[in-house]
Amino acid sequence: MHHAALHSASQIQLNAIGDLRHFVSIEGLSRTHLIQILDKAETFLGQDGQILNSPQLEGRTVMNLFFEPSTRTRTTFEVAAKRLSANVLNIDMQQSSTKKGETLRDTLWNLEAMAADIFVIRHSSSGAAHFIASQVCPQVAIINGGDGRYAHPTQAMLDMLTIRRHAKKPFAELTVAIIGDIKHSRVARSDIQALQTLGVGEIRVIGPRTLLPKGIEDFGVRVFEDMDKGVEGCDILIALRIQNERIGSALLASSEEFYKLYGLTEARVAKAQPNALVMHPGPMNRGVEIASTVADGPQSLILKQVNYGIGVRMAVLALTMQGQMAERDLRASI
């Protein structure tokens, strides 16, 4: 991303005193912001990772606006908002008036008029959350629940929290590998940005050339097309989901072929560091990206990730609301 885009990403997301008021991408946020989200998430997690309730969003309304389906992301945001004592409305935008030709802008203004405080947006167009935060509803805290191939920032932050809680070394000493369809993955993009911002020692991407973005080398990552070489000595292995529509296309011959070359098997995990940690954003295709024995094995953090995802989403909901309120107070005092 060039500097202008980065600048606008930070401008949109931060209020006048530099605190979070929207959360649309990892891009544009500093290491301090990311650590603040992680630290805040920790306050909602008990000793053994159970989720604690908090009244921080009492009387507030969170609207989940999902223009494309994602049961898991929507459910975790809903649980997170309710744990913070907020009112939650789920609005399935695929069935809504946008189908009748009412513009997105009008639809959002109408929803904003219903006194929503936070919109959680999931959209198939890259940059949709950014557009809504900057052009349509700057007064409502906008949280990106995943858009196009652009970003999935809460997934990246729950991945960072999982790593911080379970890795035996600080970020600067870690070697992290992201495996699979890097090209079409908003998770990979956000994870790479978050890992870089947090100063991770080495980031590797592993996958067939057809599933790697052009110019990926310029992002400061090491590229491996050979899985066995790529996993050697890694501390963290993150397997990405392969979308079914890629299988059998020009990009990927078959799921069996992918598993043979890039599947995360016990033999491959054994080539990484002795206590390497295994992660996957879910939902998993067992026997395609990952062996069941690995997914359910002692080195897997996949269920922990889901749990931490609630804590991270609580943190982002609470912090953006706080940032919006601070902004309103500032405006009122001028």
Return the percentage of the chain with pLDDT > 70, whole number. 96
> In this structure, is residue 27 part of a structural domain?
yes
Instruction: Look at residue 245 in the predicted model and tell me its pLDDT.
Output: 72
As a whole number of angstroms, the distance between CA 263 and CA 82 comes to: 37
Same domain, 172 and 146: no
> In this structure, is residue 334 part of a structural domain?
no
Whole-model pTM? Answer: 0.94
Q: State the average pLDDT over residues 257-271.
A: 96
Q: State the average pLDDT over residues 36-58.
A: 96
pLDDT of 97 higher than 80: no
pLDDT digits (tens, 9 = 90+) for 7-41: 577 789 999 999 999 999 999 999 999 999 999 99
Same domain, 131 and 235: no
> How would residue 172 be classed by pLDDT, with cut points 50, 70 and 90?
very high
Instruction: Look at residue 95 in the predicted model and tell me its pLDDT.
Output: 62
Instruction: Look at residue 7 in the predicted model and tell me its pLDDT.
Output: 56
Same domain, 267 and 194: yes
> In this structure, is residue 107 part of a structural domain?
yes
Phi, then psi, of 191 in degrees rounded to 5: -60, -45
Count of domains observed in the chain: 2
Instruction: Look at residue 232 in the predicted model and tell me its pLDDT.
Output: 98
Structural domain that includes position 8? 3-150+307-328
As a whole number of angstroms, the distance between CA 5 and CA 165 comes to: 32
Same domain, 294 and 246: yes
Same domain, 18 and 142: yes
Same domain, 51 and 117: yes
Q: Between the ranges 60-74, 178-192, 237-251, where is the mean pLDDT highest?
A: 178-192
Poorest-pLDDT segment among 3-7, 106-110, 155-159, 291-295: 3-7
330 or 301, which is more confident? 301
pLDDT digits (tens, 9 = 90+) for 111-132: 888 889 999 999 989 899 999 9
55 or 255, which is more confident? 55
pLDDT of 45 higher than 50: yes
52 or 96, which is more confident? 52
Contacts of 146 (CB under 8 A, 6+ apart): 70, 73, 122, 123, 152, 155, 186
Same domain, 19 and 109: yes
Q: State the average pLDDT over residues 63-80.
A: 91
Phi, then psi, of 292 in degrees rounded to 5: -55, -40
Same domain, 158 and 298: yes
Alpha helices in 204-243 (DSSP H): 227-231
User: In CATH, what number is assigned to the domain containing residue 121?
Assistant: 3.40.50.1370
| Letter string b/e over residues 36-51, b meaning 16 or more CB atoms within 10 A of that residue's CB | bbbebbeebbeeeeeb
Angle, helix 153-166 to helix 31-43, in steps of 10 degrees = 70
Q: State the average pLDDT over residues 297-314.
A: 97
> In this structure, is residue 31 part of a structural domain?
yes
> In this structure, is residue 33 part of a structural domain?
yes
pLDDT of 100 higher than 80: no
